[in-house]
Structure 1
Amino acid sequence: MAESFLADIANSLLGKVASYACQEAYLAYGVKDDLQRFRDSLTIVRGYLLDAESRKDQSHALREWLKQIQNICFDAEDIFDTFEFQHKRKQIVKSSGSIRKKVGQVFSKYNPIVFLPRMGHLIKEISDKLDKKAAEGITYGLTTIPELVVHERELTYPDVNVSRVIGRDIEKDEIMKLLMQPHPEDGNDGDKSMCVIPIVGMGGLGKTTLAKLVFNDDTIDQLFQLKMWVCVSLNFDIKQIILKIINAASTADSKAASAPTTDPDPQENINNLDIVQLVSRLKQKLSSQKFLLVLDDIWNEDREKWIELEDLIKVGAPGSKIMVTTRSISVAWMMGNVPSYELKGLSSEDCLSLFVKCAFKDGEEKSYLNLVEIGKEIVKKCHGVPLAVKTLGSSLFSNFDINKWEFVRDSEMWNLEQQKNGILPALKVSYDQMPFYLRECFAYFSLYPKDHILDTHGMCGLWAALGLVQSHNGSEKLEYVARKYIDELHSRSFLHELNDYGAGCYFKVHHLIHDLALYVAGENFVVLNSQTRNIPQQARHLSCLEDVSFDLALFPKSRSVRSIQFPILGMSLENESVRNTWVLRYKYLRYLDLSDSCFKNIPNSIAKLEHLRFLNLSRNDKIRTLPNSICELLNLQVLLLRGCTELEKLPKGLGKLTSLRRLSVTTKQSTLPYYEFASLNNLQTLCFYDCVNLKFLFKQTVLPSVEELYCASCESLECLPLYTFPNLQTLFIGDCRMLNLSLDNENSTQKLRMKHVYLFDFTKHLTLPRWIECAVDTLETFQIGNFPNLQMLPEYLTTMTHLKRLFITRCSQLLSLPSDLPRLTALEDLRIVDCSGLYRKCQPHFREYWPIISHIKNIYIQEEEEKEEEEEEEK
C-alpha cells in the first residue's frame, strides 16, 4: 500500500465518527467515553502512519503494525455503519406505526435490551485495541508527520540533446506555428494581454522535452529578443517565481552576443530584496522586450495567484509569449488564452526506436535480434508514453539474459523495480497531489481490466456503496459529487477517452495509470483469475476478470469482504453454494454483483446483508420471483433488475427501501404498485427495460425526487405522463412502438425544465414532438436516433441557447440543417452518423453546411460504413 492510503482511511473514519448517527449513539447507547477515547487514539495513530509507512520496508514488525491498524479501522467502520442501520430502522418502524413490527422488534437482535450491551462491548473492545496500537507506536519510536510529504520531481533545465529525442518533430512544428502566430486578442486598441500556450498531458508523455525542443530551436532566437526557462513545480510561490524569472533573464543577457547591457550585474545577489524591489527589477528586465517565457510543470489551480503573476509580467513588447507545461486540464484552461495543445503518445515505431536506444549501445541490437523481438512486446505495455519506454529500456541496458527480458515483458509495470526517475514515481507525484477523497476512489480502478469502458453510473454506484462519496453540505446529491470526482480525475490526466453524453460519461483509464492504481491499492484488493487458489484473509474487495471455477476452497478464512463484482459482461457466478456462503459469511458486504447468473431464486437470507448498498441482479433470466426480504435492506441505494425477463412482479414492500437512489426494472407486470414507488423519497434514477406488458406508468401519482427516467423496449407502453415527474432532468425513450411520442399531455409539459433528452427508434414519425420546445431554456443535450422518415429539424431547435450537445444518428431522410444553427453559441459537440442526406453537405470546406457548423469545437460526421471500417482497423 502506498504512503497516505491508510491515512486516507483514518481521515474518512474520523469523519464517520463525527456523523449524526454516531453522535446519536453517544446519547442513546451510553458509549460517549469509549467513542471519544477511540477518536483520540485514532488521531494519534494517524499522525504516526506516514512515518511508519516510510520505514516499514526495514521492519517486519512495523508492516504487521500497519496491517493491524488497518483492520481495526475497517472493523470500527462496520460498527459505525451498524449504528446508522439501526437509526434508519427506527425511523421505518416509527413511520409505519405497525404494532406487529414494533412487537417484532422486541424479539429481534435490535431489541435495545440486547443491542445496547452488545454495541457497548464492541465499542469498548475496538477502543482498547486502538489504545494498545497507539502505545506501540511510541515504542517503535514513531514520530508524528502532520501531512503527506510529496516528493517533487527534480527541477528541469532548458538544455536538451536533440539526438536523444525521438518522434516529436510534428508536435514541435505545431507548437512553433502557435508561437509565430500573432495573439488573436492583439489589436489596434493596444491590448497587451499575454498569449499563453499550454501543453497538457499525463506525466511521462514528454511535455518538458517538447518544450525544450522548441525553446532551443534557432527560429526562437530570431523571433524573441529574450527567452527564459523557469521550472515552477509544486510550489507556486510568487516571490520565488519572480526570482527565477529575473535570474533566467540575467542568464540570457549574459549569453547574448550583443553589446554590453546596462542591466545590473547578473551575478548580483537579489535573494535579499523585498517584493517591491523584486517587482521593480522584474519590470526592468522585461520592459519593452519581446520575450518567450517557459513555465514548466505547473500545478497551481488558484486563479488569483496566476492573475497576480500575469499582471506583473505584462510589460513585454507586443508578440511576447508564455509557454506552459502542465498535467492538469483545469490548469491549462485557467492559464491559457488559446486552445491547449494536448500531447499524445508516441507511435509504436518511435517507441521501439527509443527503447532500442535505451536498452543497447549503438548498433548492439543487431547482435540480439531475439531480444529486440521481446522488446517489441515490452514496448506495447508502455502505450506511447516515452518515460515508460525509457524506464523499461534502461532497466535492461547491457543485460542480455533472455529470462530477465521475459520477466519485464510478462510483469505488470507496478511489480518492476524502478529508480526515482522511473514512470511510476513520476505518476505517483500526481497521485500524491490529489486530495484524500480522490486517492481513495482512484484505487478502485484496479478492480477493472485494462481498456475497460467505465461510466459515471457504475463508478458512482461503487464509490457510494463503499462510503467514498460524501455530500459536503448535506444536500448535494451523491451522483453530482461522483461526477465532480470523475471530472477532477480527468482534469488531472488520470482518465482518457472521456466521452460526455450529457447525463453521464464513458471513459477509460490509461494502462500506466491502471498500473499505478494496482500499486496503491495493496493487498485488500484482489483480482480473481484462473491462477487464484485462495482468497487472502485480509481481502476486502474481490473482482473476477476471468472464468474461475468457484468453490468453497477459494474462501477458507476470508470474512471481511465488502465488495464482489464481475465487471466483464457475461461473466458470472453460477455456483449457488458459493453464493449462499457469501450471503451468510460476508455480513459487511456493501456491493454485490450477481448479474448474468443462472439462479432460479434468491435466498431469503439476503436480508442478513444489512449493510448492502448495491445489488446487481441484471440479466438473471431464470428468476421468476424475488423474496420480499430484499425490502429489508434499508441501506440499499441501487437495485438493478434489468434483463430479468421472467420476473413476474416486484417484491412486496418496495416502499421500505427509502435509501434507494437508482432502480432498474424488467418485469412482466402490466401495472406498477404506485403506492410503493411514492414512498421512495430518494429515488433519483428510474429505468424500465423490456417490460413487455407495461401499458401505463404511474397515472395516479407524482414522483418529485426522480430526475432521470429511462424507458426502452417497453413495446406495450401507451401512456407516459411527464407531469408525474415534475423535476425530470433526463429523459430517454427508445423502441416503445405503441407510445405516442406526443405523450398525450403536451399541455402539461410547460413546467418541465429538462437538460437531457434522448429519443430512439420512432420509425413512423415525420416530425419531432412539440413538447420538447418547453425545454428550450434548459436543454443541454439532444439526441435523436433511427427516425428514418424525419425530413427536417424543428425551428425551435435554434432557440436552445444552452444546448451543448446535438447528436443525430440514422436519420436517412434528413436533408437539411437549420440555417440559424450558428445562433447556438453554447454548442460544442455535434455528431451526425449514418445520415446519408447530410453526409456530403457537412464535409469540411465542402458544399453548403460547413460554414454554419465550422465554429463548433467537436464535430464528428460519419457514414456507418466508415465507422465499421475504423472499428475493424482498431481490432
Structure 2
Amino acid sequence: MSLLAIGIVSAINDCVTLFQWAKSAISSINSKWSGSQEQSLQDRVLKLESGLQLLKDTLPAMYDLINKAEWRSHEHYVAKLLPSLKDAVSEAEDLIDEFRWYEMKLQVEGNASQSPFIDFLDTIIQGSFNKLNDVQLRLNHLSSQLDNMGLRGVTPHFDKLVRPETTSMPNEAKLFGRNNEMKQVLGLLKVPTNLRRRLMAISENPSTSASARNQVSKSRILSLPVLPIVGIGGVGKTTLAQYICSNKRVESYFEPIIWICVSDDFDVKRLTKEAIQSCTEKEVTSDNLDCLQLALFNHVKDKRLLVVLDDIWDDASKENGQCWKRFCAPFRSVQEGSAMLVTTRCSKVTEVVRTLEPFILEGLKDDIFWNFFKTCVFGSESSENYPELECIGRRILPKLKGSPLAAKTLGRMLSMDLQESHWKFILESELWQLKEKETEILPALRLSYMYLPFYLKQCFAFCAVYPKDYIFQKQHLAEIWVAEGFVEPQGGVPIQDIGCQYFEDLVARSFFRKVSGGYVIHDLLHDMAQQVSEHDCFILRNESDFDKVPQNVRHLYVLPSSDFDDSSLLRLCKYTKLRTLICKKDLEEKTRFIMDQWCTKLLCMRVISCPFTNEFPDSIGNWKHLRYLKISRSCPLKRIPLTFCWLYYLTFFMLGNAF
C-alpha cells in the first residue's frame, strides 16, 4: 500500500481488514473471557464498524456544507456556526485516520504478536466508541442548524449586497492616478489620437466621405479583438473600464458601446439579451437562443462597437471554452476597429478569451497613492491641519499595497474618528482583524477565494499559517499539502505531481506571483487568507501572542523570537488539536525534551518542522498521524528509537536544506 495515496478522501475507508481481524482475534483468545464477555466485545466491534461507515458516508456532505456556508459567511449566524462545523469535521477526519493507522499496523505486524489487538482493544474498543458517537451527533446537530438556515440545495452565489452590479457610469468623481494606464489601454484598443481632426476632414470633403463610407462597409472582421484587464480585487479594473467608456475619443470612435456586468453567471442567453437591450434600449422577451443571437447579429452588423464584459470569473471557460465561443458568435462581421474589453481577476480566464496580451493593472504608486489616500481620509480638507495623524497615516499606507479600494475603505474608518488613539489602533491591527462590515477590501478579495474549488480553498487557506512575504517553493508546499490530506489521488499520477498542479492552478488564478527565488502571496490576499482561516491558523511572533491563539487552532507557525524559551514552547501542549507545527525557534539541546512533551500531548500532529534535534524521544511513536517530519539544520542523529517504526503514515522525512 502506498502511503503517498493517503489523503482526505482515500483515508476515509471501511477498514474492513481491521474489523475482520478484530472479530477473529476476539474468538481466538476467548479463553480470557466468558461467553457473554466475548459476545459483548463482538457487538462493540460491529457497532464500531457500522459507526465508522456512517461517519464515512456523512463526511462528503459535510465538505459540501462547509463550502456552501462559506458563501453565506457574511451572515452572522452562519459565520458563528462555520468554525464549529470545520472543527467537528477535523475531529471526524482524525478519528477515521486513527482507525486507518491500526489497519496499517496490522498489515505491518500481522499475526506475529497480539500487540496490535491488545492496543486496539485498550484504545479503540474501550475508548473510541463513545467518541465516534459524539462526533457523529455533533455533525448531525450542526448540519441540522445550518440546514434550517436554508443552506442545503442552494447553488453557491454571492448576493448583490456582497457583489453589487456594475454599470458603465463611473462611480468615482475622478480617475485618480491612472492617466498612463488610460493612454496605454486606448492605444491597445487602437483608438485614434486625432479622431476629431480626421472626422472634420472627412465631413469637409464629400467625395472622400462617400469613399470612406464605401470602404467601411467592406472592412469587416470575423472576430473581435479581446483585451483583458487583469488584477486583484479592488485594484480599480472596473473604474478604469468605466472611464474608458466615458472618454470622449472612445465615445466618438465606437458606436455602440455595450456594457455587461457578467459576475459569476456566464449564461450565454442572459448575456446576449443584455447586449441586445444595450443596443436597442428595449426589453427582450424572446427566450430562444437562436433568435436572440440572430437579433444581436443584425444589431451589430457593420458597426464599429466596443463591448465591455466586466468582472468575468472562471465559469466563462466552462465546456472547454465552447460557452465563450457561443457568446462571441453574433459579433462576426462587425466593422473593423471594433473591440472587446474584459475585466477579470482570474488570469486563467484570459487564456480562454484573449486575442491580445492581457493588460496587468497594478496598485497605485508612491506619491500618487498617498495623495489618493489623503483625499479618501480628509476629503477637501488639508491633512496639514493634522500633522500627528498624517504621520500615522504614512505608516498605515504600506499595509494597503496601492489598492484604491483598501484606501477608500480604510480611509473611511479613519475619517470617522480623528483621534490619535483610533488611528494607532488601526495602525497596529492586521487588516483581517478589523471589522469586516467596515473593511470592504477583504470581502472584495474574498470573492476570489470563494470561487475556488473546495480542494483549492483548503490549500490556499492553509497558507495563512506562513508569515507575509514568505517565499514559497512549489514542490515543498505541494508536499505539505499532501501531508495535510488536502490533495486527492487521481489514478496512478504521483500525488506530489497533483499537489504541484494545485499550486499552478492557484498561480493561474493570481493567488501566487512569481518572484526571484520562488513565489509570494500579495499582502492583501494574505490578509484575506488569515481572515478565512482565523480559527485554524496562527503565527506566534512573540510571547504576548500566546493570549491570542485560538483554542482549536490546527496549524501554527513559530517565528524565531528572542521572547520564546523552553517554557514558552511547552505552553503549546494545551493546543491538543494541532496538526501542523512549523517552529523556527532553535532550542538546540532542549529540543528533545520539548519534543517529548509535544509527542505526549499533541496527538493529532501531521506536519512537524523544527530547526534542530540530535535525538528523537521514545514518545515519537505517539504521532500516529504524522506524515511530514523535517529537521531544517543538518545535524547527526545520535539515536532513533524503535518507536519511530510506528510512524506508519510517515511519507516525508528530511534533514537539512531548510526552506
TM-score range relative to shorter protein:
0.7 to 0.9
Tell me the CA shift for residue 480 of structure 1: 1.5
Report the CA distance shift for 1:121/1:400 in structure 2 as closer, same or farther (over 3 A).
closer
Say if 1:198 and 1:325, in contact at 8 Å, map to a contact too: yes
Q: Over residues 654-710 of structure 1, what are the superposed CA-to-partner deviations in whole Å (9 max), with x where a residue is unaligned?
A: xxxxxxxxxx9xxxxxxxxxxxxxxxxxxxxxxxxxxxxxxxxxxxxxxxxxxxxxx
**CA positional deviation for 1:111:** 2.1
- 2:182 counterpart letter in structure 1: K
Q: Is the aligned partner of 1:244 residue 2:274?
A: yes
1:222-241 to 2 correspondences below 5 Å: 222-241=252-271
The 3-state SS of whatever aligns with 1:451 is coil
Which of 166, 178, 181 aligns to 2:188? It is: 178
Distance 1:225 1:53 in 2: 39
CA contact (8 A) 1:523 1:539 kept: yes
Distance 1:398 1:382 in 2: 18
Displacement after TM superposition at 1:85 (Å): 2.4
Partner residue of 1:456? Answer: 474
Structure 2 partner of 1:166: 176
What's the secondary structure of 2:340's corresponding residue?
strand
> Residues 426 and 89 from structure 1, CA distance in 2 versus in 1: closer, same or farther, beyond 3 angstroms?
same
Name which of 221, 242, 248 aligns with 2:251.
221
Match of residue 566 from structure 2: 550
Q: Distance in 1 between matches of 2:251 and 2:105?
A: 74
Q: 1:444 and 1:132 mapped to 2: Cα distance?
A: 24
In 1, distance between residues paired with 2:74 and 2:184?
Answer: 48
Residue 118 of structure 1 corresponds to 124
Aligned partner of 1:156: which letter? T
What is aligned with 1:294?
Answer: 308
Deviation at 1:113, TM superposition (A): 8.2
Identify if the C-alpha distance between structure 1 residues 272 and 420 changes in structure 2 by more than 3 Å, giving closer, same or farther. farther
Shift of 1:27: 5.3
Alignment of 1:449-848 (within 5 A): 449-471=467-489, 473-498=490-515, 506-530=518-542, 531-533=544-546, 537-547=551-561, 548-551=564-567, 554-555=571-572, 557-566=574-583, 574-595=590-611, 597=612, 599-621=613-635, 623-627=637-641, 629-642=643-656
Deviation at 1:572, TM superposition (A): 7.8
Q: Which residue does the alignment assign to 2:384?
A: 366
2:332 to 303, 306, 314: 314
Deviation of 1:164 after TM superposition, in Å, equals 2.5
* 1:157 counterpart = 2:167: yes
CA contact (8 A) 1:151 1:429 kept: no
Q: Following TM superposition, by how much is the alpha carbon of 1:281 offset from its aligned partner in structure 2, in angstroms?
A: 1.7
Question: CA offset at residue 90 of structure 1?
Answer: 3.6
TM-score (norm 2): 0.81
For residue 411 of structure 1, what is the amino acid of its counterpart? S
Deviation at 1:412, TM superposition (A): 0.5
For residues 510 and 304 of structure 1, do their structure 2 counterparts lie closer, same or farther at Cα, with a shift above 3 Å needed?
Answer: same
| Rounded Cα–Cα distance in structure 1 between residues aligned with 2:69 and 2:477 | 32
Cα displacement string for residues 153-189 of structure 1 (whole angstroms, at most 9, x for unaligned residues): 111111226753211111111111111179xxxxx99
Q: Equivalent residue for 1:340?
A: 358
Q: What amino acid sits opposite 2:537 in the alignment?
A: F
Matched, 1:277 2:291: yes
Superposition TM-score, scaled by structure 1 size: 0.62
Q: Which residue, 133, 136, 152 being the options, matches 1:145?
A: 152
Instruction: Report the 3-state secondary structure (helix = DSSP H, G, I; strand = E; otherwise coil) of the residue aligned with 2:518.
Output: strand
Residue 436 of structure 1 corresponds to: 454
Q: Distance in 2 between matches of 1:56 and 1:390?
A: 20
CA contact (8 A) 2:228 2:344 kept: yes
Answer yes or no: is the 8 Å Cα contact 1:587–1:608 preserved in 2: yes
Change (3 A) 1:28 1:523: same
Indicate how the Cα distance of structure 1 residues 144 and 214 shifts in structure 2: closer, same or farther if over 3 A, else same: closer
**For residues 142-161 of structure 1, what are the alpha-carbon distances to aligned partners after superposition, in whole Å with 9 as ceiling and x for unaligned?**
54423544345111111226
**Aligned residue-pair number:** 590
Q: Give yes or no for contact 1:26–1:35 (8 Å, CA) kept in 2.
A: no
CA contact (8 A) 1:601 1:623 kept: yes
Q: Which residue of 2 aligns with 1:813?
A: none
Map of 1:209 onto structure 2: 239
Cα distance in 2 between the residues matched to 1:161 and 1:34: 57
Amino acid at match of 1:587: L
Letter aligned with residue 489 of structure 1: L
Question: CA–CA distance in 1 between the matches of 2:500 and 2:599?
Answer: 31
Which structure shows the bigger proportion of residues in helix conformation? Answer: 2
Tell me by how many angstroms 1:36 deviates: 3.6
Aligned-pair CA distance for 1:195: 0.7
1:620-673 Cα offsets, whole Å, 9 max, x none, are 4364454454344221111111269xxxxxxxxxxxxxxxxxxx9xxxxxxxxx
Distance 1:129 1:295 in 2: 47
Which of 362, 375, 378 is equivalent to 1:357? Answer: 375
CA distance in 2, matches of 1:406, 1:321: 48
Structure 1 pair 158–462 and aligned structure 2 pair: CA distance change class (3 A):
same
Q: Give the CA deviation at 1:365.
A: 1.9
Distance 1:278 1:583, change over 3 A: same
- For the structure 1 residues 295 and 23, does the alpha-carbon distance in structure 2 shift closer, same or farther, using more than 3 Å as the test? farther
CA deviations over 1:22-42 (Å, ceiling 9, x no partner): 455565554442224334665
- Unmatched 5+ stretches in structure 1: 1-11, 95-101, 183-187, 251-265, 500-504, 645-663, 665-875
Per chain length, whose mean CA-contact separation is higher, i.e. which structure has more relative contact order (CA < 8 Å, sep 6+)? 2
SS of match in other structure, 2:633: coil
Q: CA RMSD in A?
A: 3.3
Letter in 2 for 1:230: I
Query: Deviation at 1:80?
Result: 1.6
